[in-house]
Structure 1
Amino acid sequence: MSSLFHDHQYRLTVIRSGLYSAWFGVAITISGCGTSDTPVLAPVSGKVTREGEPVSDAMVIFTPAKGSASSGTTDSQGRFELRYFDGQVGAAVGSHRVKVTTGNPGKPLQPGDPPRPMLEPPEDILMPEAFEVRVGENSFQLPLPPKKKGSART
């Protein structure tokens, strides 16, 4: 009878430790869910213009108060689409400071490419107001101030 009692105690101990392990595993799994460092992102696109004309090859950077920035480069029509630092489309939901850098050279020249015209010197423009990225599609118009006299290359 004594061995039967010890056998039963042993089984209960094994079952309890298995249950504790299972609960511990569930708790670890649940606590790990949703702790990603990636914020909620929303698609952001828009157009950069200067005096009504599209600005091509400009770098647009949206920087939130906390976290990583998103950026994009304008095409020949001044249009851009932002990508988060890890390549995902969009920017973090919330308020952003926006900087536009003009004069970017675009893609590097490859052997056999025709020469490019002289590019203007880079110019960093910090937009005066913050931009609010909201859940869902976001489209922003970024009108740049007129160029300062004497800033263009001749």
Structure 2
Amino acid sequence: MKRSTAKAVAGHLARLVIMASVSLAPLACGSTGPGMAPVSGKVTYQGKPVPKGSITFASTAPEGRNATGQLDADGSYTLQTENPRDGALLGEYNVTIYAHDEPILDYIPKKPIPPKILSPTKYEKPETSGLKATVKSGSNTFDFDLTD
């Protein structure tokens, strides 16, 4: 290939890369994308923070996407759909909470050691949790006080 042809091909490829980068930029719109909003809150059980586990906002829309978060030691969480702390899509959700403290062992026990359950198991399934949330534009805070 001639040097001038190689330069032309390299220049064309560079323009394609720049165009692709610019066209994909809207897909990475900061901490939350279009149609999304930040979601955070606290989970408590019997008045105390649930210190471990996960929370899932399961979309009720057929084309919707779920958002999840990890519970911190103080029971707080921040949701993400695709990227850390990007929030959830606007819409209706059924909420589930899975709060188990899995033992960390440095040996293999003869009998399996079950995890310590930190909240009622009814909250682990959308059909039994009874928890719902509607994510709206702007910052959203949902606190859940679990009961037996």
Shared fold (TM-score greater than 0.5)? yes
User: What are the ranges of 5 or more consecutive residues in structure 2 without an aligned counterpart?
Assistant: 1-22, 28-32, 107-113
Matches within 5 A, 1:2-151: 40-66=35-61, 67-87=64-84, 89-105=86-102, 119-121=115-117, 123=121, 125=123, 126=126, 127-146=129-148
CA contact (8 A) 2:57 2:67 kept: yes
What is the number of residues matched between the two proteins?
107
1:68 to partner: Cα distance = 1.4
Residues 68 and 136 (structure 1 numbering): CA distance in 2 closer, same or farther, change over 3 Å? same
- Equivalent position SS for 1:130: strand
Query: Residue 71 and residue 58 in structure 1: after superposition, are their counterparts in 2 closer, same or farther (change >3 A)?
Result: same
Identity of aligned residues (%): 27
Over residues 79-117 of structure 1, what are the superposed CA-to-partner deviations in whole Å (9 max), with x where a residue is unaligned? 0000003546101111111000110539x779xxxxxxx
- What's the TM-score, normalizing by structure 1? 0.57
CA distance in 2, matches of 1:54, 1:65: 27
8 Å contact kept, 1:102–1:124: no
Larger mean Cα displacement after TM superposition, 57-66 or 71-80: 57-66
- 8 Å CA contact 1:41–1:135 kept in 2: the answer is yes
- Counterpart Cα distance in 2 of 1:72 and 1:86: 11
What is the alpha-carbon distance in structure 2 between the residues aligned to residue 130 and residue 82 of structure 1?
A: 15
The answer to whether the 8 Å contact 1:39/1:93 transfers is no
- Segments ≥4 residues shifted beyond 4 Å: none
| Structure number with larger C-alpha Rg | 1
**Conserved 8 A contact 1:58-1:73:** yes
Are residues 105 and 65 of structure 1, via their aligned partners in 2, closer, same or farther at CA, if it must alter by over 3 Å? same
Q: Distance in 2 between matches of 1:39 and 1:124?
A: 33
